[in-house]
Chain A
Amino acid sequence: MSLESLTYATASELSSALHTGKISAVELTEACLNAIATHNSEVNAVITLCEDAAIAEAKAADLQLHNGSAGPLTGVPLLHKDIFCTRNVPTTCASKMLRNFIPPYDATVVSRLRTAGTVMLGKTNMDEFAMGSSTETSVFGVTRNPWDLNCVPGGSSGGAAAAVAAGFAPLSTGTDTGGSIRQPASLCGITGLKPTYGRVSRLGIIAFASSLDQAGPMTRTVEDAALMLQAMSGIDAGDSTSADLEVPDFSAGLNQPVAGLRIGVPKEYFNHNLDEQVAKKIHEALDELVKEGAELVDIELPHTEQGIATYYIIAPAEASTNLSRYDGVRFGHRCENPENLNDLYERSRSEGFGEEVQRRILVGTYALSAGFYDAYFKKAQQVRRLISEDFKKAFEHCDVIAGPAAPGTAFPLGAKSDDPLAMYLEDIYTLSVNLAGLPGLSVPAGLINGMPVGLQLIGRAFDETTLLRMGHRFQLRTKHHLARPTMAGANQ
Chain B
Amino acid sequence: MQERKFRVMVAKPGLDGHDRGARILARCFRDAGFEVVYTGCHQTPEQIASSAIQEDVDLVGLSCLSGAHLALFPKVVELLREKGAGDIAVIGGGIIPEQDFPSLYDAGIKAIFTPGASLDSIVAWIKTNIKPH
Do these two chains really belong together in a complex?
Answer: no
| B interface with A by C-beta (< 8 Å) | none
**Residue ranges of A at the interface with B (Cβ–Cβ < 8 Å):** none
